[in-house]
Homo-oligomer: A and B are copies of this chain.
């Protein structure tokens, strides 16, 4: 746990949360930040614990999930570099309402929640930035609900792949940013279902080997 270095400060300042702040709020927030690296599988916080820290992903991926009474895990969100973790609860209840875990080696910034609240109570630009980020994540989760209820597994996977492709390009190839296991969870699928979805997509110009994906024609994915 240490103060952010120059590169990390740079990264922080380009985040959606901080990039639109005035100078005062910005430097106040930077002063609050500490940086930490956590290893694979380490948990940042657990459901029900008192919420005292706001996290921000600088590198790697963080997964938030619910634990059912029967011990099953349900993935809720995957946070990419730049995303805020814990925003959902930090500004509302007292406790985290989900658990968060690093998927691999992850670099994160920590903000003491109480301090952020105090700061936001004085700096409208910070409060508005928080509201904006929240609104964005909220809209995302709503479209997740719509997707779940509307599209089949292959459709959801196709849509995910399309989002990864630069628009208008053809013969795109890229690496999945994380394990298929994790992707399955994010799409609300069992790993087997994801695998089968990929097989089906082969006939629509998608080839997969390991984490490498090739898409012949992103437009064609629309038609699945």
Contacts and interface: CB of A to CB of B under 8 A. Distances in A.
Given A92-B132, A124-B124, A141 B143 contact: no
A136 interface: yes
Copies in the complex: 2
Task: Name the interface size band of chain A.
Answer: 35 or more
A139 B66 contact: no
Interface in A92-137: 92-93, 97-98, 117, 120-125, 127-128, 130-132, 134-137
Interface in A78-94: 87-93
A150 interface: yes
Interface string A13-40: 0000000000000000000000000000
A74 interface: yes
Contacts of A149: 74, 148, 188
